[in-house]
Structure 1
């Protein structure tokens, strides 16, 4: 390295003393000039190599002397081969690929022109910093699917009424390729979220290892930065598709930067292009989104090679897990308890459960066509849904053996109880037995009549049953309402005769007749 100009005077003095007749040693010259012996030794070495003695040095200017003693270093004859940083960035997204591996491949290709590993890493990181935050994140192929809803909504007009409804726009982005999916839903409820995610998995044709949503209440039962608990429908999705749910931490946008940028891209390249169009159905809007989505995934990247579709085919698609044989069917969940007649109720219809579970707290899983009964997450009964209010769906195997074989003694016992109260009560009990596919299904109403007898007394129950028959409403609810309103005490004139006189039973094809139970 050249000696600073301020020392040039000492260099001249050193050369003069070393060449003088006195024949001073290096140590003596160093002591005379107040510098180290090493410095004097270096000056003598440089002068000898440059062929400069004191007589010559005395004729040179300071710049000329410095140029002779300390010439500038020669430039290296070889140049370094610059890596393809964009291709390197994409390669890092492949499972198992590291910077060390890529550097070794780079060095094998360019030989002596390769950067050292440390310089290679520094140059790549400096290049990556110039990318957008979302693009410089490196996620292995097939690892993460980020999902969110856009802030913008799209108006949809009801063609019949002219009413405008705002559709929500769902966005999903794969971490490695930025491959994007979008669709419109009416709301952001659990069924909307899960339904859109199911459509996304069908669109990409596979299942990632991690699903990264935000923490909306529709999906996360207990939002938390460290241990968020997913809601019931989201749990079912995770189990059905064998995917782990890793919600982004609240207030940490870096956890979901991919989808945040994906939302911006969808708003700019899809929703902005649809701003002047009018839509009259959600299906029409989704068809328009799908057309523009195909174009979006084919648009070339600005700073990376290829486009989203090409990156998806190379990075994410090969690493996705296969879809299950059937898509998940959306369901709602409702708590229930198995009644004494081994049935559960939903929307006024009754569905049977194996009789040994009477009294158990269960969970109903309801889809558009089925109702399942779950006990500690295990299915114990499944039925086709029925819209018949007051009806029963009963599986024979769910009934006790005694009921399946010959259980007429139970209705007979109930009728005998009614006869001890009075003719009207017995008539109402017989009506319950006669209007059920299985007589045992009348238990619920008859047990209710027994409770009314304990609450209001036998005499009032008999009067209420007589009134219920007179108005052709021999139902438990009617009898209960009559007692609650005190209508059983309003006298026989309102009934058109004596309280104990029963009106004819209503005609019906299912009525078995008065002699039916006498023979059983």
Structure 2
């Protein structure tokens, strides 16, 4: 590197310290100190030295003009081969160490490894251009997680529990949002992005994450595959997910800088503080976040918050009236009993789907079941283990469900006979308690209609209810013993014809007339 002695002398004459000169000109302090000592010992006026050219100055100060510029053989060789070395560094498996070993084989008296790497880095920094990005107000929100974690204390054990810290930034105004979450899982990423929207008071056109698994299922250079739930979240808020390119951190450089600000403005000011839960930790984080956004930016006349209100807030889309409800997915096979399992609880499915694969879409309140993208049924979420949730409309072949349907049919048949019969069978069902026995008794009672007729059946049911006799045996006993006919005599005051009329039967009048004839004789 060419030492500019005139710059050193001017800085020294202006009153700058050796340390300041070294820092501003990027020259070692010992070199600056040596030139200043030579200048003081010469006794030559500064104006005279400044009129000399660089070559005479270097001769006067006892230094070579610059080995590199005068054509050092080592330097020329390295300069000729550096473009090739930089190109080969892009190949997989090629390292700076392997290139340096190759260089030493050709130039045993060459530069040290440190100098070799320094020249490589200088060449790459000079030759690789850096683009400028114009950030449009309300267009994108960059998101990322900090590399270093924070900790909360477990209330029961006192152990330190690590938590992730989420960072989001709107690049146009550079307003920033931080939040601590339990992990980088999908549900916590969605929750943090949603809270960021509500903090900013609106929704940008796109969310720009890196290619973490909770956001991107399959990274790709052109069209990466977005996680279904994260894509559903973006649809709910009317935006899209636009991941940064793989291994291209400069695509969202501002959020990388926001993470550095997080370490400086939040982490450093929370040293020594202890938090027992995420809520308390996030309250403290939010306090420092608001302070950062309200403080004026470096070399700017405005703060992040002022810039956001001025140019970006009105460009954001309006928040929807409801928050996004994150739903989880599970693929399951319908079992032979026509149920699917979720967290050891069983939900009914129509019988025609037995053996098919279905998809369960569930949240804290509901479980939706789909078959080939067609909605089948919805259940209320129930996490009680080893219990069943069923719908009567599915008509499953379960014992209790079958009895329930059978009893409905029995009541319908009894109602057609007479409401008294229906009422009696309902009382029998209550008395029997066990559903299977109630169904069996009800079927037997209905069969009595064919044996004894409609009228006697109705009357017998009425007698049984008045006598509090509930059951098939009790009702059959009434009919067999003709208790219904005796009841009828008491109610009507006349004897019924117990024997049917027939032309072959002589009757009581025949025997009474024979007795009269004998008495006359």
TM-score (norm. length: structure 1): 0.51
- Corresponding residue number in structure 2 for 1:207: 203
CA distance in structure 2 between the aligned counterparts of 1:253 and 1:366, rounded to whole angstroms: 35
Contact 1:349 1:391 (8 Å CA) reproduced: yes
Cα separation, partners in 2 of 1:202 and 1:387, compared to 1, 3 Å: same
Instruction: Answer yes or no: is 1:364 the counterpart of 2:330.
Output: no
Q: Deviations over 1:462-512 (max 9, x none)?
A: xxxxxxxxxxxxxxxxxxxxxxxxxxxxxxxxxxxxxxxxxxxxxxx9742
| Alpha-carbon shift at residue 299 of structure 1 (Å) | 1.2
CA distance in structure 1 between the aligned counterparts of 2:303 and 2:168, rounded to whole angstroms: 17
Question: 1 or 2 for the larger relative contact order (CA 8 Å, sep ≥6)?
Answer: 1
Out of 314, 318, 324, the position equivalent to 2:320 is: 324
| Alpha-carbon shift at residue 329 of structure 1 (Å) | 1.4
CA distance in structure 1 between the aligned counterparts of 2:323 and 2:374, rounded to whole angstroms: 20
Out of 215, 236, 239, the position equivalent to 1:240 is: 236
Cα separation, partners in 2 of 1:377 and 1:213, compared to 1, 3 Å: farther
| Alpha-carbon shift at residue 353 of structure 1 (Å) | 3.8
Q: Deviations over 1:320-359 (max 9, x none)?
A: 1111221111222111234455432212222234555554
Cα separation, partners in 2 of 1:519 and 1:158, compared to 1, 3 Å: same
**Aligned counterparts, 1:443-454, within 5 A:** none
Cα separation, partners in 2 of 1:396 and 1:325, compared to 1, 3 Å: farther
Contact 2:392 2:401 (8 Å CA) reproduced: no
Instruction: Answer yes or no: is 1:516 the counterpart of 2:439.
Output: yes
- Corresponding residue number in structure 1 for 2:173: 177
| Alpha-carbon shift at residue 387 of structure 1 (Å) | 2.4
Provide the aligned C-alpha RMSD in A.
Answer: 2.7
Out of 429, 433, 443, the position equivalent to 2:399 is: 433
- Corresponding residue number in structure 2 for 1:280: 276
Cα separation, partners in 2 of 1:264 and 1:343, compared to 1, 3 Å: same
Out of 339, 346, 370, the position equivalent to 1:343 is: 339
CA distance in structure 1 between the aligned counterparts of 2:181 and 2:301, rounded to whole angstroms: 33
- Corresponding residue number in structure 2 for 1:40: none
Q: Deviations over 1:7-30 (max 9, x none)?
A: xxxxxxxxxxxxxxxxxxxxxxxx
Cα separation, partners in 2 of 1:359 and 1:284, compared to 1, 3 Å: same
Cα separation, partners in 2 of 1:341 and 1:322, compared to 1, 3 Å: farther
Instruction: Answer yes or no: is 1:186 the counterpart of 2:182.
Output: yes
Q: Deviations over 1:108-160 (max 9, x none)?
A: xxxxxxxxxxxxxxxxxxxxxxxxx89x6321111000000011211211132
Question: Tell me, what secondary structure is at the counterpart of 1:217?
Answer: coil
| Alpha-carbon shift at residue 388 of structure 1 (Å) | 2.6
- Corresponding residue number in structure 1 for 2:508: none
Cα separation, partners in 2 of 1:270 and 1:438, compared to 1, 3 Å: farther
Question: Tell me, what secondary structure is at the counterpart of 1:139?
Answer: coil
Instruction: Answer yes or no: is 1:374 the counterpart of 2:370.
Output: yes
Instruction: Answer yes or no: is 1:304 the counterpart of 2:305.
Output: no
Give the aligned length.
289
| Alpha-carbon shift at residue 216 of structure 1 (Å) | 0.8
CA distance in structure 2 between the aligned counterparts of 1:191 and 1:437, rounded to whole angstroms: 43
CA distance in structure 2 between the aligned counterparts of 1:304 and 1:313, rounded to whole angstroms: 16
Q: Which runs of 5+ in 2 are unaligned?
A: 1-129, 407-431, 444-521
Cα separation, partners in 2 of 1:267 and 1:350, compared to 1, 3 Å: same
Contact 1:348 1:389 (8 Å CA) reproduced: yes
| Alpha-carbon shift at residue 270 of structure 1 (Å) | 1.0
- Corresponding residue number in structure 2 for 1:257: 253
Q: Which runs of 5+ in 1 are unaligned?
A: 1-132, 404-409, 411-431, 441-508
- Corresponding residue number in structure 2 for 1:141: 137
**Aligned counterparts, 1:89-128, within 5 A:** none
- Corresponding residue number in structure 2 for 1:458: none
Contact 2:145 2:165 (8 Å CA) reproduced: yes
Contact 1:181 1:203 (8 Å CA) reproduced: yes
Contact 2:297 2:304 (8 Å CA) reproduced: yes
Instruction: Answer yes or no: is 1:154 the counterpart of 2:150.
Output: yes
- Corresponding residue number in structure 1 for 2:105: none
TM-score (norm. length: structure 2): 0.51
Contact 1:433 1:439 (8 Å CA) reproduced: no
| Alpha-carbon shift at residue 262 of structure 1 (Å) | 0.9
Question: Tell me, what secondary structure is at the counterpart of 2:332?
Answer: strand
Contact 1:335 1:361 (8 Å CA) reproduced: yes
Answer with 388-397 or 239-248: which moved more.
Answer: 388-397
- Corresponding residue number in structure 2 for 1:315: 311
Cα separation, partners in 2 of 1:312 and 1:434, compared to 1, 3 Å: same
- Corresponding residue number in structure 1 for 2:15: none
Instruction: Answer yes or no: is 1:393 the counterpart of 2:389.
Output: yes
CA distance in structure 1 between the aligned counterparts of 2:293 and 2:361, rounded to whole angstroms: 38
Q: Deviations over 1:161-207 (max 9, x none)?
A: 11111111100001211111100011111111111111111111211
